[in-house]
Amino acid sequence: GAVVSQHPSRVICKSGTSVKIECRSLDFQATTMFWYRQFPKKSLMLMATSNEGSKATYEQGVEKDKFLINHASLTLSTLTVTSAHPEDSSFYICSASEMGLAGAAGDLETQYFGPGTRLLVL
Amino acid sequence: GQNIDQPTEMTATEGAIVQINCTYQTSGFNGLFWYQQHAGEAPTFLSYNVLDGLEEKGRFSSFLSRSKGYSYLLLKELQMKDSASYLCAALDSNYQLIWGAGTKLIIKP
């Protein structure tokens, strides 16, 4: 199956610093990558949808200038949390969809998730 | 509005069968996904249904009724490792995933 990696898996930083999280599709090309945030015992909250070579589409209520997303290639998207504050502490998960795959129904739409990044801002 | 409903928590016994239900209301429909998420980990893909009926995959099966806006995930021969949250997500007409809040499944020996 498709593999998505995320780095780092865990990060602790001081308030006011910026943190960059990388999401890579290892064995497939991803037209679209998604960034989610998850609070304890809550479902995934979609933050933004990222398409290679174009600007990300942010969900309502998500600050574009605070959560910078760059989808530089078909295998890499990055999320930068700028000037992080304790309330930004969360579990950030990326997912990727394969492009142009002629296979079983659902192949194009199935999202494969990275392992997540746990961010703690002190 | 768009909405996904699934039970918050369920308890079952090791070796038994459990059915987790999901109802959805979306603007258009392009399929329904089930994901498994263990605590502290990212979700993993379990199944995708776009046509009515039951799809079996080992111990897990998923059912869809488009006319009723209803799906269920059936887990057989439950094992302790099946203790996890199970997320139902529907794909709307814009190919956006609408996520349920997840069902926490507790397996008892």
**B78-99 pLDDT, tens digit each:** 999 999 999 999 988 877 778 8
The A residues from 62 to 81 touching B (CB cutoff 8 Å) are none
**CB < 8 Å to B99, chain A:** 43-44, 46
**CB < 8 Å to B102, chain A:** 43
Under-50 pLDDT residues of chain A: 100-106, 108
Q: Are B14 and B79 in contact (CB under 8 A)?
A: yes
Q: What does the pLDDT look like over B22-75, one tens digit per residue?
A: 999 998 998 999 999 888 788 888 998 999 999 998 999 999 999 999 999 999
A46 touches chain B (CB under 8 A): yes
Q: Are A95 and B24 in contact (CB under 8 A)?
A: no
**Tell me, what's the pLDDT at A101?**
43
B4: closest chain A residue by CA: A43
Contact A115 B42 (CB under 8 A): yes
| 3-state DSSP assignment of residue A86 | helix
A42 touches chain B (CB under 8 A): yes
A103 touches chain B (CB under 8 A): no
Q: What does the pLDDT look like over B13-24, one tens digit per residue?
A: 999 999 999 999
B100 touches chain A (CB under 8 A): yes
**Tell me, what's the pLDDT at A115?**
87
Question: Considering Cα of B90, then B91, then B94, then B97, what sign does the dihedral take?
Answer: positive
**Tell me, what's the pLDDT at B40?**
76
Q: How confident is the model at residue B104 (pLDDT cuts 50, 70, 90)?
A: very high
| 3-state DSSP assignment of residue A87 | helix
DSSP string of chain B, one letter each residue: --EEE--SEEEEETTS-EEEEEEEE-SS---EEEEEE-TTS--EEEEEE-SSEEEEETTEEEEEETTTTEEEEEE-S--GGG-EEEEEEEE-TTS-EEE---EEEEEE-
Q: Are A45 and A62 in contact (CB under 8 A)?
A: no
First to last CA, chain B: 40
Q: How many CB pairs under 8 A join A and B?
A: 53
The B residues from 52 to 81 touching A (CB cutoff 8 Å) are none
State the nearest Cα–Cα gap between A4 and chain B, in angstroms: 11
**Tell me, what's the pLDDT at B6?**
96
Q: Is A6 exposed, middle or buried (0-12, 13-18, 19+ CB in 10 A)?
A: buried
State the nearest Cα–Cα gap between A5 and chain B, in angstroms: 11
| 3-state DSSP assignment of residue A16 | coil
